[in-house]
Structure 1
Amino acid sequence: MKRIGLLPRIILAIALGIGAGLVIPEWGIRLFATFNSLFGSFLGFAIPLIIIGFIAPGIGTMGKEAGKLLGLTTSIAYGSTIGAGLLAFFAAKTLYPTLLANQTTHGEFENPEEVLLEPYFTVDMPPIMGVMTALLIAFTLGLGLAAIKGDTLQRVLNDFRDIIEKLIDRVIIPLLPLHIFGIFANMTNGGQVGAIMSVFAKVFVMIIVLHFVYILIQYSVAGSLRQKNPFGMLKKMLPAYFTALGTQSSASTIPVTLKHTKTLGVKERVADFSVPLLATIHLSGSTITLTSCAMAVMLLQGEVPTFGTLFPFILMLGITMIAAPGVPGGAVMAALGLLESMLGFDSTMLSLMIALYLAQDSFGTACNVTGDGALTAITDRFVRADQLEQMGVKKVG
């Protein structure tokens, strides 16, 4: 199975889960429900560790980079991320009442505990702290590291981040297909899978369209600032887009993104600095997906997403995306704490979010890296060549 990519495994798990839910007796479904309960409890235990492990060292490292250019690039990236979240919110708010009308009006997924089979037993795995406490500790440590010159705690947190990355890469991600298999088997047995698959298809199409719309917005802004044809600029970045579709990793696509960003007429030293940084902190495609999927899951649960609820979530999501680990599905893992603490998602809702997100992960990554080229061009517009020396940005090579 390791030779098969994560996305094919997720699709296979969903298909097999639906089939199994139609033929497996209740005792078998309860067996998988028991595994899901254990996995969900462990995921709840790991969420505070993920928050501290990624946010704290991420913010601390950023504070030690080249000051003014870092601030400019980060501000543009954060603004782009928030814009992506707002686009997704208003699009979903406009389209979901029509797209998801049957599911939301008939409440086919409300109160899932009433139709899902119970596990044979549960094991309590309480987290060492609450999600909000973990967020506060992560921001306190990260901002403190950015303010001081010491590196001892930074190295400790970097090692802790590496441990959490291994936990995600070697334990959580490999077990996700089995977890999703059990979820869909239980939902099929409870008669809910039709509503879920219908939502999957509609939300997936909307998300991909929003990705393309937002890429066009980014390049329209970059083209107007640089007085260039945005479609011509976008055409030059297509190799980065298709590379990201295959790698599902912004970091792995950096060489291709950097090479083609320089063809946009960007100063070489600006590109050398901004592209690797944006690969870490700019996840507009992932933000579109997370916001859209979160609203869909809320509607399935009979909740009505409001701007007052989603806007603070989007603002925090823009910061949390800095912490997204460099593994497939890393963005949704980093966002689990926010989904739980700010939107009140339970283990079933979190599992649906993971499944929805992973189904389009490669497209979200492609949107992220393609947008990096536009944002680098925008950053370059506001930086003069003589300012680079003052900012301490050296030419690579």
Structure 2
Amino acid sequence: MKIGLLPRLIIAIIIGICFGLILPQWWIQLLATFNGLFGGFLNFIIPLIILGFIAPGIGELGKGAGKLVALTTTVAYTSTVVAGLLAFFSGRMLFPSLLSTGSTSGNFENPEEFLQSPLFEVNLEPVMSVMTALILAFVLGLGLAAINGTSLQKGMVDFRSIIEKVIHYVIIPLLPVHILGIFANMTYGGQVAMIMSTFIKVFAVIIVLHIVMLLAQYSTASALSGKNVFQSLRNMVPAYFTALGTQSSATTIPVTLKQTKSNQVREKIADFVVPLCANIHLSGSTITLVSCSMAVMMLNGMQPTFTSIFPFILALGLTMIAAPGVPGGAVMAVLGLLQSMLGFSETMTSLMIALYLAQDSFGTATNVTGDGALSIMVDKLMGNDVNSVEVEEEESSKTA
């Protein structure tokens, strides 16, 4: 029987804590050595992930019905940014009392001071810096969206497929071992109780924020369309639970489409908006990423400010475009942003991965359910202009 990623992560955390309590120092150093090698590989692959996801993703957005693409992208990006701001202001209001001095995690210092060092290190330099990869990806993506050529686009799509396979067959399978090593090291250093307490508190806040965001999305859709908020949400419940199990927006597309159409969204709109939003609308994942990153920063004595988090939120909405259809794709796509914009260290990145992946299924379910609300909004905002989409699509196919 195949065990899902979330159960494997939970098992890895439990085993890691047990190992940290019973194993001698040299075993912990051995695990730290693996973590060092794996962390080095992650640093190497991060620029390639950014280039492989963003460039072809933006290029693909330039195809098809122009007005519908622009409207859907604007609504999806706005929703993602609003979700990030909701997470930031909620975190600023709640986290100081949950994680501040005097609470369970109040006296937590930089965890790297307590970690055992690896037995040896291998210096694996990335082929380019994170910012170089980000700028190059945007230049290539916007260029691909502007030209009629397909050769480079196909090449970038093939490159994305290679990176997806590296994530699916190398990074994802080894992540539980990496997390096991981190928690073993943390436990050996006497810090795990504080971290686990933080996990539970952050998880509770994130789930509540997901619910608030869905209510806000469907209330907005209802205000525009006149549909009943709770009936529309009820119709999307099968999509929510399907995404909860698959942890993939792409895999859930057939169910999302069916349930979106049950909300009386025109078929042409639903068939276009739902698959597109599966790649570009990540409000639930954004809430999780922003909340988890703020918690990790506070654990390390860093104060997340609006001036540091808001640019990060704006970049999230673009960087996660076309994140792979594998569990944890969003956090893999933004590892570079965490390092370059928020100053995350290797240990902070590892904690972030653990926090995010444990919540990944709930974030994905929120993304998918929110796609139904966005479809209602786009359907209303397009009005009778939807009739022009077919003409534009036919002309686009003839050109291709």
Same fold (TM over 0.5): yes
User: Displacement, 1:28?
Assistant: 0.4
Amino acid at match of 1:52: L
Matched, 1:62 2:61: yes
User: Displacement, 1:232?
Assistant: 1.1
Q: For residues 34-183 of structure 1, what are the structure 2 equivalents within 5 Å?
A: 34-102=33-101, 108-183=107-182
After superposition, the C-alpha distances for 1:291-350 in whole angstroms (9 at most, x for unaligned) are 000000000000110000000000000111213111000000001011011001111111
SS of structure 1 residue aligned to 2:334: helix
After superposition, the C-alpha distances for 1:223-250 in whole angstroms (9 at most, x for unaligned) are 1111121011111111111111111110
* Equivalent position of 1:29 in the other structure: 28
User: Displacement, 1:115?
Assistant: 1.4
* Equivalent position of 2:19 in the other structure: 20
After superposition, the C-alpha distances for 1:153-195 in whole angstroms (9 at most, x for unaligned) are 1111111000000000000000000000000000000000011
* Equivalent position of 1:202 in the other structure: 201
* Equivalent position of 1:260 in the other structure: 259
After superposition, the C-alpha distances for 1:134-165 in whole angstroms (9 at most, x for unaligned) are 00000000000011111111111111000000
Matched, 1:214 2:213: yes
Given the superposition, is the C-alpha separation of residues 333 and 78 from structure 1 closer, same or farther in structure 2, using an over 3 Å criterion? same
* Equivalent position of 2:222 in the other structure: 223
Amino acid at match of 1:297: V
Amino acid at match of 1:227: G
Question: What is the CA–CA distance in structure 1 between the aligned matches of 2:240 and 2:105, rounded to whole Å?
Answer: 39
- Whether the 8 Å CA contact 1:85–1:284 is kept in 2: the answer is yes
Q: For residues 306-321 of structure 1, what are the structure 2 equivalents within 5 Å?
A: 306-321=305-320
**Any gaps of 5 or more consecutive residues in structure 2?**
395-400
- Whether the 8 Å CA contact 2:235–2:259 is kept in 1: the answer is yes
After superposition, the C-alpha distances for 1:231-283 in whole angstroms (9 at most, x for unaligned) are 11111111111111111110111111101101111111001110111111101
- Whether the 8 Å CA contact 2:236–2:256 is kept in 1: the answer is yes
Given the superposition, is the C-alpha separation of residues 385 and 290 from structure 1 closer, same or farther in structure 2, using an over 3 Å criterion? same
Question: What is the CA–CA distance in structure 2 between the aligned matches of 1:181 and 1:31, rounded to whole Å?
Answer: 12
Given the superposition, is the C-alpha separation of residues 39 and 103 from structure 1 closer, same or farther in structure 2, using an over 3 Å criterion? farther
Question: What is the CA–CA distance in structure 1 between the aligned matches of 2:71 and 2:102, rounded to whole Å?
Answer: 44
Given the superposition, is the C-alpha separation of residues 269 and 91 from structure 1 closer, same or farther in structure 2, using an over 3 Å criterion? same
Question: What is the CA–CA distance in structure 1 between the aligned matches of 2:106 and 2:229, rounded to whole Å?
Answer: 44
SS of structure 1 residue aligned to 2:236: helix
Q: For residues 6-17 of structure 1, what are the structure 2 equivalents within 5 Å?
A: 6-17=5-16
Q: For residues 332-347 of structure 1, what are the structure 2 equivalents within 5 Å?
A: 332-347=331-346
Amino acid at match of 2:279: T
- Whether the 8 Å CA contact 1:21–1:187 is kept in 2: the answer is yes
Given the superposition, is the C-alpha separation of residues 103 and 152 from structure 1 closer, same or farther in structure 2, using an over 3 Å criterion? farther
After superposition, the C-alpha distances for 1:39-97 in whole angstroms (9 at most, x for unaligned) are 00110000000000000000011112211100000000000000000000000000001
**Between the two proteins, what is the percent identity of the paired residues?**
66
- Whether the 8 Å CA contact 1:165–1:325 is kept in 2: the answer is yes
* Equivalent position of 2:397 in the other structure: none
SS of structure 1 residue aligned to 2:382: coil
TM-score normalised by structure 1 residue count? 0.97
- Name the Cα RMSD after superposition: 1.5
* Equivalent position of 2:360 in the other structure: 361
Amino acid at match of 1:23: I
Amino acid at match of 2:334: A
- Whether the 8 Å CA contact 2:104–2:197 is kept in 1: the answer is no
- Whether the 8 Å CA contact 2:65–2:389 is kept in 1: the answer is no
* Equivalent position of 1:381 in the other structure: 380
Question: What is the CA–CA distance in structure 2 between the aligned matches of 1:370 and 1:317, rounded to whole Å?
Answer: 20
Question: What is the CA–CA distance in structure 2 between the aligned matches of 1:319 and 1:394, rounded to whole Å?
Answer: 25
Question: What is the CA–CA distance in structure 1 between the aligned matches of 2:28 and 2:120, rounded to whole Å?
Answer: 13
TM-score normalised by structure 2 residue count? 0.96
* Equivalent position of 1:325 in the other structure: 324
Question: What is the CA–CA distance in structure 1 between the aligned matches of 2:386 and 2:42, rounded to whole Å?
Answer: 46
Kindly tell me the number of residue pairs found equivalent between the two proteins: 394
User: Displacement, 1:104?
Assistant: 7.6
SS of structure 1 residue aligned to 2:96: helix
* Equivalent position of 1:294 in the other structure: 293
User: Displacement, 1:391?
Assistant: 5.9
Question: What is the CA–CA distance in structure 1 between the aligned matches of 2:102 and 2:86, rounded to whole Å?
Answer: 23
Question: What is the CA–CA distance in structure 2 between the aligned matches of 1:387 and 1:196, rounded to whole Å?
Answer: 51
- Whether the 8 Å CA contact 1:104–1:299 is kept in 2: the answer is no
User: Displacement, 1:390?
Assistant: 5.0
Amino acid at match of 1:312: P
Question: What is the CA–CA distance in structure 2 between the aligned matches of 1:36 and 1:268, rounded to whole Å?
Answer: 49
Given the superposition, is the C-alpha separation of residues 256 and 127 from structure 1 closer, same or farther in structure 2, using an over 3 Å criterion? same
SS of structure 2 residue aligned to 1:360: helix
User: Displacement, 1:112?
Assistant: 2.3
SS of structure 1 residue aligned to 2:371: helix
Question: What is the CA–CA distance in structure 1 between the aligned matches of 2:137 and 2:383, rounded to whole Å?
Answer: 35
- Whether the 8 Å CA contact 1:269–1:394 is kept in 2: the answer is no
Given the superposition, is the C-alpha separation of residues 42 and 304 from structure 1 closer, same or farther in structure 2, using an over 3 Å criterion? same
**Any gaps of 5 or more consecutive residues in structure 1?**
none
After superposition, the C-alpha distances for 1:189-223 in whole angstroms (9 at most, x for unaligned) are 00000110000000011101100110000000001
Question: What is the CA–CA distance in structure 1 between the aligned matches of 2:372 and 2:389, rounded to whole Å?
Answer: 24
SS of structure 2 residue aligned to 1:302: coil
